[in-house]
Amino acid sequence: MMPAEGETIGTRIDTVRQRIAEACDRSGRDVAGVRLMAVSKTRTPEEIADAAECGLTLFGENKVQEAASKIVRCPGTLEWHLVGHLQRNKVRRALPLFTCIQSVDSRRLIDELDKHATGTTPVLLQINIAGEAAKHGADPAEARELVDAVNATARLEVHGLMTIPPFAPEPEKSRPWFAQLRELRDRLTAETGTPLPELSMGMSNDYAVAIEEGATLVRVGTAIFGKRK
Ligand SMILES: *Cc1c(COP(=O)(O)O)cnc(C)c1O
């Protein structure tokens, strides 16, 4: 789709916010319970500053190297989360950059993060909800063990779950996966007594559906910044 004439980061953010409010209305949720993250991979510090000017404060990056060189050139008031796969040899570099690591998906990564964390570090467990072979994220059947593993660390705190469902052009196709992540969360909370309030799910194409299924954080790139080159 060609961008509509006069479309800017500001007008796109207005549209996203409006659609978030509508999805909250439809599902009887308080709009304060849904955080909008701008996923800024491949975007310049100037584009990020534009989004920050429009009031966005939460940003997501998927590569440690890119984030390390970019974050220092962005407004210092922003909160950054890692939403991409984290290799263990990049843990030390990643920790000082990000408030939250959303892509924790193995016991070995949990151990490495705990070893190098210098303070309390919130994490989300990334779940490969559809069991796709080529995708990162833990198998839903391993999730219980990973919650226990984080609870056994000195410095990590698990705040919830994150998922990237199979790509589908039709947003309704994502709904069952979002519902499954929420149900998995409910089950894990019941079994472990760990509150897992955060559900990071929904991207440009399907964030409205994700909100209807309980998302507390939506990760939006294209719908804010335009098409990636
Ligand atoms: C790129 C990315 C997004 C945003 O994708 P869009 O379709 O551009 O909104 C969200 N989450 C993760 C993990 C990503 O890598």
Task: Evaluate if residue 2 carries a pLDDT over 70.
Answer: no
CA gap 38, 13 in Å, rounded = 9
Task: Evaluate if residue 77 carries a pLDDT over 90.
Answer: yes
For residue 199, give the 3-state DSSP assignment. Answer: strand
The packing angle between helices 9-26 and 45-53, to 10°, is 50
Q: What is the pLDDT of residue 4?
A: 60
Enumerate the domain spans of the chain. 9-225
For residue 74, give the 3-state DSSP assignment. Answer: coil
The closest residue, in CA terms, to atom 5 on ligand 1 is 221
Q: What is the pLDDT of residue 229?
A: 83
Quick check: CB of 41 below 6 Å from ligand 1? yes
Tens digit of each residue's pLDDT (9 = 90 or more) over 168-225: 999 999 999 999 999 999 999 999 999 999 999 999 999 999 999 999 999 999 999 9
The closest residue, in CA terms, to atom 11 on ligand 1 is 219
Distances in Å between the alpha carbon of 9 and those of 49, 73, 119, 125, 169? 10, 19, 35, 30, 23
Report residue 5's pLDDT band, with 50, 70 and 90 as the boundaries: low
Task: Evaluate if residue 3 carries a pLDDT over 60.
Answer: no
Quick check: CB of 83 below 6 Å from ligand 1? yes
The packing angle between helices 143-151 and 175-192, to 10°, is 50
Domain 9-225 in CATH 3.40.190.10? The answer is no
**Beta carbons of 199 and 182 less than 8 angstroms apart:** yes
Between the CA of 220 and the centroid of ligand 1 the distance, in Å, is 6
Tens digit of each residue's pLDDT (9 = 90 or more) over 127-177: 999 999 999 999 999 999 999 999 999 999 999 999 999 999 999 999 999
Tens digit of each residue's pLDDT (9 = 90 or more) over 19-64: 999 999 999 999 999 999 999 999 999 999 999 999 999 999 999 9
Q: What is the pLDDT of residue 156?
A: 98
Q: Which stretches of 81-215 are DSSP H helices?
A: 91-94, 107-116, 143-151, 175-192, 207-212
**Beta carbons of 131 and 141 less than 8 angstroms apart:** no
